[in-house]
Amino acid sequence: MMNRMEKKTERSFFAGFGGQGIVSLGQLWVSCAMKEGKNVTFFPFYGAEKRGGVARASVIVSEGEIASPLVSRADSALVMNEESLPLCEEVLREGGVLVVNATLVKKEPQRTDIRTIKVAIQDIAERVGSSRFANMVAFGVLAKVTGALSLKKIEAALRGFFPHDKHRFIPLNLQAIQAGFEAALM
């Protein structure tokens, strides 16, 4: 149990393939956290050689100071495609939470010392309007599962994140985030 003097810190790791919005998800995650007055770090990695290559992001959101910007052991991990499952399992700490895009990941995690939450992220995104909203559905799932973000300032974060000519998509992004939040079974 956290005492009143401790500050909550969430170390997250996101992985998938290029085009799934992994890096954008990480950027929006920290943008929203900053709007909520939290400290953040963000390290993206993507194989720029082609669309569909590896995409990863590590993020720390903290109410207090962040001692190291690196995520060596994640509290939570998001795996958006099957090829990223081993990597996400490897980086996750014992007792951590693995969020699995059940639409694309059919293999079962090998670790038994973690909590696995499966959500048909891609399917939910399609119901919202397009599979391109999968990262926003994942955002909602992660917000609920980790408790790292309150989502009270998510619309302001989206307005600051997207260029003005993309603001017409904010209602659909909000719908996708809400759908993910509601789909995350605790």
Q: Where are the domains of the chain?
A: 9-183
Q: What is the pLDDT of residue 10?
A: 96
d(CA 40, CA 35): 11
Domain 9-183, CATH: 3.40.920.10
d(CA 125, CA 57): 21
Query: What confidence tens digit (pLDDT) does each residue in 49-71 have?
Result: 556 678 999 999 999 999 888 89
d(CA 94, CA 12): 14
- Closest alpha carbon to 13 in 111, 84, 112, 114: 84
**Given a cut of 70, is residue 186 above it in pLDDT?**
no
State the average pLDDT over residues 72-94.
Answer: 96
Q: What is the pLDDT of residue 38?
A: 95
Q: pTM (2 decimals)?
A: 0.91
Q: Which two tokens stand for residue 127?
A: 């119901």
Q: What is the pLDDT of residue 3?
A: 40
State the average pLDDT over residues 110-137.
Answer: 96
**Given a cut of 60, is residue 152 above it in pLDDT?**
yes
d(CA 17, CA 41): 21
d(CA 90, CA 144): 23
**Given a cut of 90, is residue 98 above it in pLDDT?**
yes
